[in-house]
Amino acid sequence: MGLYTLVATCICTLVLPVLLFLVAVKLWQIYMIRGRDPGCQLPLPPGTMGLPFLGETLQLVLQRRKFLRMKRQKYGFIYKTHLFGNPTVRIMGAENVRQILLGEHKLVAVHWPASVRTILGSDTVSNLHGAQHKSKKRALMKAFSREALEHYIPVIREEVRCAVKDWMQSDPCVLVYPEMKRLMFRIAMRILLGFDPEQIKTDEQELVEAFEEMRKNLFSLPIDVPFSGLYRGLKARNFIHSKIEENIQKKIQDSVDKRNPKDALQLLIENCRRSDEPLNMQELKESATELLFGGHETTASTATSLVMFLGLNQDVIQRVREELQETGLMGVGSQEKTLNIELLEQLKYTGCVIKETLRINPPVPGGFRVALKTFEIDGYQIPKGWNVIYSICDTHDVADVFPNKEEFQPERFMGKSPEDSSRFNYIPFGGGSRMCVGKEFAKVLLKIFLVEVITSCNWTLLNGLPTMKTGPTVYPVDNLPTKFCNYNDN
């Protein structure tokens, strides 16, 4: 009797769980196969769906670039997977991406993972649809008009100069990525939210740390329990909201703002007033947080990449300096020369350096959509209700219009640009109706950054070419330790 009991116990504790797991896997596979639209004769894209319920989310979160590279090598430009609780098709390549970006409201609609929607909020520009999206985007575009950008230049230049001066005095080195986030954060706080410099100094460190925590947990499993990624992301988000609410209240009470142009947050408040709807504090806090996050995280990523690529390509620095000398932005009296949009537009090669950086290291790796109906891409069906991820970084990598794509060659964008042959081969700012609203602001900011750093100093990367990671924007895992020194000391 004891032997039978022992055998039964072994079966229950060892064999039964394995059998239940295998049954769950089989049921999962059947469920996924039935996910295809029976009314469409086309097959689903190739790929695997991973573990029951979890899918392949953990592999993506833990391995990121390695996972995506393996998938691309195995399945090509379009494949199926299961991420963040949803069956998903990931696509790349100019023609495939064109169909998604131009299919907004007809084939697809924006649909970020549940964790992103929960942390950022449903009323942000990135999550709104239809008329609401157009209205909010139209209001924000005023903050990035040519007139507004001209107004921002002195503020950007002042902040960059102060940062560069500090870097040159740092010993033994500067961790570029954290410093870049602090710099871009201050610029975004002043320009996009209208904070004064003294107010920023008070809360800067705590807010930067909170944004870092929010960033790390933006893409996480949608499980809000203590110590989960979503829980930590929401906690950081709530702290940010508490810090910026006072400034929003002040703007709401200030009914007559004579500044011209106004900051982006002020424009959103005025847009709400024109709609004759009561001002929603939660919506304004979400919008302010999205502006601050988008306005500093992506530019910090690209500015870090610029320092890295230029540190590895001294000949490019020399060519930029020659262009700056030709325009009077380097040499005797250049520090006092007024910088404006017209002068920045003359810096063609400098602009190409930024374009090439965005080609190799686009700060945002892609975008999320959901299929509104079943449709075809590249001979495969995309079933209604499935998520669609279009990849920016992979689309750049596979574009045939970029020869020697592993090399940093800004001159490839001089003259007739490779991006002109198919605008969807080069999409660092996305495309279609969802193209990044702050695109021109980012270009101006990055040009000013290059002007100031290249005219002021030389630098050496202490670890050489670092490993890059994505989470959710691109950054170096070693934070890019760099030694800056005064250009005139060489």
The confidence score (pLDDT) of residue 261 equals 64
The confidence score (pLDDT) of residue 81 equals 95
Quote the Cα angle for 228-233-234, to 5°: 100
The confidence score (pLDDT) of residue 325 equals 93
What is the domain extent for residue 325? 35-489
Can you give the pLDDT of all 490 residues of the chain as single tens digits? Answer: 566 676 666 666 666 666 655 655 555 555 555 567 888 899 999 999 988 778 898 888 777 788 888 999 999 999 999 988 889 999 999 999 999 999 988 999 998 888 999 999 888 888 888 888 888 888 888 889 999 999 999 999 999 999 999 999 987 899 999 999 999 999 999 998 888 877 777 788 888 899 889 988 988 878 888 888 999 999 999 999 998 888 888 888 775 555 556 788 888 888 777 766 677 888 888 888 888 888 899 999 999 999 999 999 999 999 999 999 999 988 766 677 789 999 999 999 999 999 999 999 999 989 999 999 999 999 999 999 999 999 999 999 999 999 999 999 999 999 766 555 568 999 999 998 889 989 999 999 999 999 999 999 999 999 988 999 887 889 999 999 999 998 875 5
The confidence score (pLDDT) of residue 481 equals 97
Q: Give a yes or no: residue 3 inside a domain.
A: no
The confidence score (pLDDT) of residue 388 equals 97
Could you say which DSSP state residue 391 is in?
Answer: E
CATH of the domain at 433: 1.10.630.10
Q: d(Cα 331, Cα 191) in Å, to the nearest integer?
A: 29
Q: d(Cα 29, Cα 140) in Å, to the nearest integer?
A: 45
The confidence score (pLDDT) of residue 349 equals 97
Dig out the tokens for 142 from the structure: 């005023």
Q: How many domains does the chain have?
A: 1
Q: d(Cα 82, Cα 89) in Å, to the nearest integer?
A: 8
The confidence score (pLDDT) of residue 9 equals 67
Side-chain half-sphere exposure of 457, counting CA atoms within 13 A: 24
Sign of CA dihedral 327, 330, 333, 339: positive
The two beta strands, 86-91 and 387-391, are parallel
The confidence score (pLDDT) of residue 42 equals 93
Q: Give a yes or no: residue 106 inside a domain.
A: yes
Query: What residue numbers does the annotated binding site for heme cover?
Result: 436
Name the pTM for this structure.
0.88
Q: What's the order of all strands across the beta sheet hosting 86-91? A: 78-83, 86-91, 387-391, 366-371, 108-110
Note if the bond before 172 is cis, omega within 30 degrees. yes
Q: Give a yes or no: residue 18 inside a domain.
A: no
Q: Give a yes or no: residue 29 inside a domain.
A: no
Q: Which has the closest alpha carbon to 426: 408, 399, 404?
A: 399
Q: Give a yes or no: residue 378 inside a domain.
A: yes
Q: d(Cα 373, Cα 108) in Å, to the nearest integer?
A: 8
Q: Give a yes or no: residue 19 inside a domain.
A: no
Q: Give a yes or no: residue 24 inside a domain.
A: no
Q: Give a yes or no: residue 1 inside a domain.
A: no
Q: d(Cα 397, Cα 391) in Å, to the nearest integer?
A: 10
The confidence score (pLDDT) of residue 461 equals 96
Query: What residue numbers does the annotated binding site cover?
Result: 436
The confidence score (pLDDT) of residue 28 equals 52
